Each structure stands twice: as structure tokens, then as C-alpha cells.
Structure 1
Amino acid sequence: MGNVRVLQVLAVEDQHLLVYDNGEIIQVKNEISSQVTPGDFVEVEDHYTRDKAVGFAREDDPSGQQGIIEKKTDDLLLVRTETGKQVLPIPEEDVSPGDGVLLTDLGEFYTVFEEDIVDLDDDDGGSLRRGVNDMDPSDLEPENVPDKQYSDFGGMDEVVEEVEYKVQVPLKEPERFEDVGMDAPKGVLFYGPPGTGKTYLAKIVANQVEDASFYSIRGPELSAELVGRTERLLRGLFEKAQNNPPAIIFFDEIDSVAPRRDKTMDSGRRTVGQLLSLMDGIEDRGRVVVIGTTNLIEAIDPALRRPGRFGREIEFHRPSREGRREILDIHRPDVEFADTVSFDDLVEKTEGWTGAHIESLFEEIGEILLKEERDREGSPTIRRMDVERAYERVQAQINNKEAQRRREQEAEEGSG
């Protein structure tokens, strides 16, 4: 037997494993009789043709570095040592922040010790905490949804109708699809410009399904996680949802989690592969629906958009004239408006605006009233000048964002 080292499994590919070895990702032959999953630690033996995994790593209780647990999540610990930090899986022992631990020389395994805790430099630990991307366990718990109805979502009746059919019915009455010889949708993509209400409507539909769990996670947060950590979070997310039906798993900005595999690095490809596997594993009548939102639908890996995964897509467009009128009426505050304020003019002037822009118009008006302390007058009246000032502010924000988008697009095209 050659030298044996303990390495973490990043992915399983047929008869081989991808493992993390001293800063590099390598492929080793899998000679372990039991099932291996990403996140496991295995013993890898040196071999002159191809290194091979020969068994699961065991905890041998060797002496090594001492440390203190700084943070704890569902499946990871952040341990601070004399030489730096370690992100480690949860041991069998019951441990909590503040406990001392004894690490092996490799740093993968450890046991709790009660005495002789090493004295570490007494700083605020801020740089240490900022150096590790760890998600709080609450990110894997159901999120509260607003007590809103479909009537609170204005300007896109046809979108609401599609969401009812493609999300609400599969959660409440999946048997209806079976009765007509169809599979209930597992995944639905909401796509369209920012501010068109994709996230808001996803939360509204969750509120329409009695006892529905809503698991929400932002793509940029998930994609910034440590190597191997993203896949474990995804598995935990799907497991919790399927154990608590009816449930919605909501990925905001899913293009950052599941980009085209020909446009991303190894870590991105592994995440896409894990998500594909989890989507395929959802039972047809599991009463779990996955919703993804994106402003860039072409940036998502095509395999996710096939039937049985995110096979249903709903476009969120900018509201029409009638839609803008409806949104203005929904968000209009219960405050008196002067006779000189024309909502017909606002409907015309807000052409091209999204629902979020229109909502922010009234927020700007409210801010004007507060800054001028007109709320102290009792029941302030919103004047035409207030509306015009707020309109100019929102339009300026829109223009600035559009200019920034063009600059980024030009920079991207220039680098290509």
C-alpha cells in the first residue's frame, strides 16, 4: 500500500471520484464498496497508474492543533486556530460555539476537549468571519410570506392566471393533472426585466396554498459558498421541502446558481449537475414546486429548461397602459391628492416603468412629505409639485441604471 491521505469528495462520476487535494481538483478511481456522496471524506491511496479511493476516512483521535468553535450551522463549523481558520463538518459529538476542539494534522477530523484550551490572540474576529461564506441555518427554514392576495398584484392578469395553473394547482390539487394524463409541473421559471414582480408573485401564490412552506434562497448568496458547500445546501433544501409539503423552493436570480455549463468553471458545473439530479428526484405527486427567477433566461443551462425540470416558463413583462393604471390604484396611499394631480398624466408618463418603479414613486412622495414635516400638519395633501419632484427622482434612477447597464454590456463585448 502506498501513502494514504484523507481527501474530501466533490463529485461522483461513474467509477471515479472528484476530490479536493492540496488546492487542486483531481480524479481518483472509486474502489469503495459503499455508496459515496459529495462531502464525504475518503482515504485515497497513491498508485502508480491512478490514485484510488479505498475506504471512508476514520477518526483516529491523533494529536494536532487546538482551536475554538466560532460559528456553527446545520452541517459545518467555523473553527479558529493559532494558524488561521478551518471550515469543518459537524462531528458526532454535541458541540457549540465557544467549545474547544482538537484537530488532526489534516484538519478534517477532531474531537472535543474540555481542558487546556489554547489562548488565541484576542481580536474581534471580524476579518476571520468575513473570510468565510457560511449561510445561517435559518436560510434553510421556511420563510414567512406576506398576507397578500392576487388582487394586490396589478397589471398582469394573464401572468397571474398562468401562475395559478402552473404553481398553485400542482401544490393544492396535483391529482387534477393525473386525471387528464399530464405530469404536474416540478419547476417553473419566472423571467423578465427587474422590478416586474417575479419575487412578489411567488410569495403571493405561497400565501394562497394553505399550510404551504416557502423556502427562499438568493442565487448570488448560494453561488458564493465554499467548494462542496453549495451542493450540501441544495440537498438539504430539497430534503426539507419534500419532508414538509406542500412546499415552494424559490431560487431568486437562479442564473447565478445554474449558468450554462459551457460558460462556467468546474464548481459551477457541479452545482448545475446537483440541481439537475435533485429536480429529477422530485416525485411527480410530491406537492413540491421549484420556482426560479431570472432577468437573463438565456444564461441558464439549457438542461434545466427541459420538460420534467423547469419545463414551464412564465414571462413577466412591463405593464401596459391599463396595467399601469391598475398598479397606480393599488399602491396609491390613502392620503388626499390635490385636484391638480392628474393620474391620467401619470399613466402616460410612466410608460416603460415596471411595477416596482411605480411603487417607488409613492415612496418618494412620502419621503418628501416627511422631510418637509408636512405630516405634522395632520392630514397632508399631496400636491402636483410633490408628484413631479418624485417622478423626476425615479426617472433619474432609471436613467442611471440603464446607462450603467449599457456600460457593462459594452465592456463585456469589448473584452470578448
Structure 2
Amino acid sequence: MTPARGGGVRPTRLTPGDVLRLGVLGLRVRPLRAALSALGISIGIATMLAVIGIPASSQAALMRELSALGTNVLQVTVPPNEDPPVLLPKESVGMAQRIGPVTVASAVANTHLVARRSDRTDPRDGLGLSVLASRIDLLPAVNAGMAQGNWFTSATAHFPTVVLGSVAATRLGFTEMPLDGRGHQVMIGDQWFTVIGILATTPLSPEIDRAVLVGWEAAEKVLRFDGHPTVIYLQVHEPAIEAVRAVLPATVYPERPGDVLVTRPSEALAAKRATANSFSALFLGLAATALLVGGIGVANTMVISVLERRSEIGLRRALGANRGQIRVQFLTESVVLAGLGGVLGTVLGLAATAAWAVWHGWPVVVPVAATATGLGGAGLVGMLAGLYPSMRAARLTPVEALATV
């Protein structure tokens, strides 16, 4: 206490350190109750993070699978069997690549030739396979990979070499690449080509599975290919896929945009967007419920604490503490209690999310926004939960409080 004008006393102003020490006083006196109360809100926060983090990890795995189905892939073609045939311009791939949201653009072209296992087979029997000239950047455009051997390089694309699709390799009888590195050979027209690789199955582009792929430059030099692409494959930033589809015909063939066919975006894209929206709504509902349950637990604890500590409140009021100091003491205790529960709950929730995701082989998604919301929400819930008990404690007069002693 400090002397006041007129001979009275006035309460000493509390520093932030004093407020914190008073706020944790009740927690130190009743550690078991404080631990159980903190555990209550920590379970709420951990539940919130778990029900957000685990579905988010599952969603990430689902989105990865849906993306593998080609949610961002478009194909540009021309009508088949036209007379005279419609030919895409030679520079159409480069023109498509210059569209801002396009990340990859590549192409193949049908050479209309037949690939044979040897020169002794029927020259007209192509086994239902296509001989396609391929650009060197085709693999990322169609999400393809190599099963065996190697893809074209800037060097091998100029020489008579081929890469076989998975179905083409089976029909030609080449299921494995030779260990001696010499390579199988196939005949295209009257020219022998060396097999340098076999593609893995490409579910997005089944026509590639049934293709014998020749380097673009080798096709022009050896097979007298005219350089006009038949199919252009593009990968696009998903939010802009509809806008890119709308401008593609006029971009790749300005003279005849009406003759350009562009595939519709994959149905998997609509499923992916619907899945994201449904998960977001679910997260908000679960998070709100978890925080509400935790707040009720803290409020209940603080009300009981005020009832049990009436004598302490009366003694402090009799010694000169004002209503504001009593209010700040219990409000600080409530915030500290909720904050401890929030920190513990955050650790538990993140650990549970990581463990569950790793066990299922999902990518671990740490919900940063949810983590910040959980910690901030714990403090806010503690403040709201302690508001009524602190005001109730502050309204007690010293006589009323000490009457219970």
C-alpha cells in the first residue's frame, strides 16, 4: 500500500510480473486440479488439430492421386479423316507454351508408317501400333515414366532410335532390355531402329502405350516426317484450365481455330474441387465444437475456483486490493490455464497427425493456420471463460467473502 492524499491508503499498482504471479498462484496451490483442467482444454485443442490434420493429410494423398489422373492436362488435336487433312502449324507447340498458365507443352505426330519386328514379317502388319514422332519433353507432359532403358536425349533424338510404349513392347515381343546394352531392333519402313527404352504404362494417354516413338529430329531426317504435330499435350495451372482451354484454338491455329479440337478438363478436376470444399466445411464445424467444449471446461473450473477461494478474495480485499486487481488476477489465471492446455494440446495434436499420416503412407500435412488458431483460440477461450468468474470474484465485498471463513 502507498499513502494517499487525505491520510488514506491506495492500492499499489501491479506490474505485469505481479499480475502473472498472482494468476498462477491458484495453479500452484492446486496443481492436480490445474493439470486436469489444462488436460481438458488440451484434449479439445488436440482433437481440433487431429480432426483437421488427419483429414488434411488424407486429402493431400487423395489430391495427389486425383492429380495423377490428369486434372490439369489438356490435349489439342485436329479432326481425323479430313480431305484435305488439317495440319497444325509447325510452330503451334511453341505458341501454346507461351500461354502464361501453361507449365509444359509437348507433342507427337503420326508418321503413318508401320513398325515390324523384322524385315521378314508382312510389311502391312503393324500389330495395331502407331509410329509417332516425339518431342524430347513429352514425358512430363503426359506424366509418363520409364520402365526400362532410357528416354531420348538431345543426342539420341537425332539418331535412328526408338522408345516403345508398354503395349507396343509386348506386341513386338520385347519385354526386357538386353543386359549387354546392345538393344533390340525394329524396322520402320526400310530403316532399322534401335530400341533404347520401354515406357511404363501411361493411363492418361493410352495411345502412347500403343506407340513406337521416334525422336522428332530423327523422324524428320530418316522418315521424311513433315514436322506438323498431330497431338499437343499441355499441363496447366488448375485454376486457369478453363481459361486456357478457351484461348487454345485461336492460339495454336489462328487461321482456322474452328478446326482445332481441345479435350474437356478431366472429370477428376471437378471431383477434386468438390472434395476440397467438403473438407473445408467439415474442418470448420469440428474446430468450433472442440473449442466450445474446451471453453466450457475452463469456465467451469474457474467458477469453482472462485467459490473455493472466497476467503482469499476477502482477505485481499480487506488488505486493500481493489475490484480491478481481483478481476485481473482471476482473468490471468484463466488465460494461463487455457494457454497451458493449448500448448499441450498443440503438441499432442501434431504428434497424432504425424503418426497417423506416416502409418498410412500419406504426406504429413501440418495445419499451420489451424495450429496458430488453436493457440490463439486457447487464449481467447481462456479470456472468455474467465470473464464471468473474474467479474463475480470482483463483486464480492470483503464482508461477504470473509463470512465463509
Q: TM-score, normalised by structure 1?
A: 0.24
Question: As a proportion of its length, which structure holds more strand?
Answer: 1
Q: Which has the larger radius of gyration?
A: 2
Structure of greater relative contact order (alpha carbons < 8 Å, 6+ residues apart) = 2
The TM-score with structure 2 as length reference comes to: 0.24
